[in-house]
Structure 1
Amino acid sequence: MHHRAYFSVAAVTAAAFVISGCSGGANSDASATTDTVNMSLTTDPSSFDPTLARGADDYTVAPLLFDTLLRKDDGGALVGGLASKWEAIDASNYSLQIRGDAKCSDGTPITPTVVAASLGRFASPETGSSGRSLAFGAAKPTFAADDASGTVKVTLSAGWSDFLTGLALPQSAIVCPAGLADLKGLSAGTVQGAFSGPYTLKSAQPAVKYEFALRDDYSAWPAFSKPLEGTPAKNLVFTPISEYSTIATQLLAGSLDIGGVADENVARFKDNDGFTQQSAANNTTYILFNERPGTAFADKPDLRKAVAQTIDPKAFSDIISDSRGKPILSVGSENIKCVNTDTSLITPLDPAAAAKVLAGVKIRIVGTTFLTEGNEYVAEALRKAGADVDVKSLDNGAWSALTGKGGTDWDINVQGDNNLMGTLPSSLLRVMGPPAESGGRNKTGAVNDEGYAALTAGMNAVDADEQCAAFKKAQASFLKRVDAVPLATLPFVTVAAKGFSIRQFGEYMDPATIRINK
Structure 2
Amino acid sequence: MHRTRFLSGAIAVAATSLLASACTTSGSDSSGSTGAGGAASGGTVKVGVTSDVTSFDPARGTAASDYMVTGLLYQPLIGQDDGGKFVPGLAAKWEQTPTSTTFTLKDGLTCSDGKDLTPAQVAASLERYRATSASATLTFGAANTGKKTTITGDDKAGTVTIKTATPWGEVLNGLSGTAAGIVCEPGIKAGDKKLATGAVKGAATGAYEMVKAARGSSYELKLRKGYDAFAQYGSLSTTGRPADVLKLQVVKNESTIANQLSTGALDFASFTGPDAARFAKNDKYALTQAPFIRNFIAFNQRSGHPGADAKVRKAVAQAVDAKAFNKVFGGAGQEMTSYVDAKSACVSTDASLLTKTDKAAAAKTLKGVKIKLEGSNAVAQGAGNTYVQEALRAAGADVKLSNADNATWGTDILGNQGDWDVTVFPLISGSLARGGTYFVGDSPAKGLNFGGADNKKFLASYVAATTATDQNTKCSAWQKAQEAILKANDVVPLATVNLNYVARKGIAVTAPAGALSLSSLRVTG
TM-score between the two structures when normalised by the length of structure 2: 0.78
**1:339 is aligned to 2:348:** yes
Give the residue type in structure 1 aligned to 2:460: A
State the partner residue of 1:270: 280
State the partner residue of 2:338: 330
Give the residue type in structure 1 aligned to 2:424: V
State the partner residue of 1:22: none
State the partner residue of 1:130: 135
Could you tell me whether the CA contact under 8 Å between 2:80 and 2:513 is conserved in 1? no
Q: Would the alpha carbon gap of residues 75 and 462 (structure 1) be closer, same or farther in structure 2, given more than 3 Å must change?
A: closer
Q: Would the alpha carbon gap of residues 287 and 362 (structure 1) be closer, same or farther in structure 2, given more than 3 Å must change?
A: closer
1:63-111 deviation digits (Å, cap 9, x = unpaired): 11211011245775433222233222x2322211233533334555432
Could you tell me whether the CA contact under 8 Å between 2:169 and 2:466 is conserved in 1? yes
Larger helix percent: 2
Spell out the pairing of 1:340-419 with structure 2 (5 A cutoff).
340-346=349-355, 348-350=357-359, 352-353=363-364, 355-356=366-367, 358-359=369-370, 361-369=371-379, 372-382=382-392, 385-394=397-406, 398=407, 402=411, 406-409=415-418, 411=420, 412-419=422-429
Give the residue type in structure 2 aligned to 1:214: K
* Shift in Å, 1:218: 6.6
Percent identity between the two aligned chains: 30
Q: Would the alpha carbon gap of residues 251 and 372 (structure 1) be closer, same or farther in structure 2, given more than 3 Å must change?
A: farther
State the partner residue of 2:106: 99
1:109-137 deviation digits (Å, cap 9, x = unpaired): 4322221222223234xx35136415647
Q: Structure 1: which 5+ residue stretches go unaligned?
A: 20-24
**1:62 is aligned to 2:70:** yes
Q: Would the alpha carbon gap of residues 184 and 109 (structure 1) be closer, same or farther in structure 2, given more than 3 Å must change?
A: same
Task: Give secondary structure in 2 for the equivalent of 1:260.
Answer: strand
TM-score between the two structures when normalised by the length of structure 1: 0.79
Give the residue type in structure 1 aligned to 2:150: T
**1:258 is aligned to 2:263:** no
**1:317 is aligned to 2:326:** yes
Q: Residue 461 of structure 2 is aligned with which of 454, 460, 465?
A: 454
Whole-angstrom distance in 2 between the partners of 1:121 and 1:491 = 33
Could you tell me whether the CA contact under 8 Å between 1:278 and 1:493 is conserved in 2? yes
Whole-angstrom distance in 2 between the partners of 1:435 and 1:228 = 50
Task: Give secondary structure in 1 for the equivalent of 2:435.
Answer: helix
Could you tell me whether the CA contact under 8 Å between 2:251 and 2:257 is conserved in 1? no
Spell out the pairing of 1:200-219 with structure 2 (5 A cutoff).
200-201=209-210, 202-206=212-216, 209-216=217-224, 219=227
Greater relative contact order (Cα < 8 A, sep 6+): 1
**1:284 is aligned to 2:289:** no
* Shift in Å, 1:332: 1.9
Whole-angstrom distance in 1 between the partners of 2:143 and 2:265 = 46
Q: Structure 2: which 5+ residue stretches go unaligned?
A: 1-11, 29-40
Spell out the pairing of 1:74-153 with structure 2 (5 A cutoff).
77-88=85-96, 90-106=97-113, 109-124=116-131, 127-130=132-135, 132-134=137-139, 136=141, 138-140=143-145, 141-153=149-161
* Shift in Å, 1:143: 1.0
Whole-angstrom distance in 2 between the partners of 1:212 and 1:138 = 42
State the partner residue of 1:497: 504
Give the residue type in structure 1 aligned to 2:296: Y
Task: Please identify runs of 4+ aligned residues in structure 1 that moved more than 6 A.
Answer: 5-11
Q: Would the alpha carbon gap of residues 282 and 154 (structure 1) be closer, same or farther in structure 2, given more than 3 Å must change?
A: same
Spell out the pairing of 1:190-209 with structure 2 (5 A cutoff).
191-201=200-210, 202-206=212-216, 209=217
Superposed CA RMSD in Å reads 3.9
Could you tell me whether the CA contact under 8 Å between 1:306 and 1:358 is conserved in 2? no
Q: Would the alpha carbon gap of residues 499 and 86 (structure 1) be closer, same or farther in structure 2, given more than 3 Å must change?
A: same
Whole-angstrom distance in 1 between the partners of 2:355 and 2:423 = 19
Spell out the pairing of 1:19-58 with structure 2 (5 A cutoff).
26-27=24-25, 35-58=43-66
Q: Residue 168 of structure 1 is aligned with which of 151, 163, 176?
A: 176
State the partner residue of 2:9: none
Could you tell me whether the CA contact under 8 Å between 1:198 and 1:218 is conserved in 2? no
* Matched pairs, number: 488
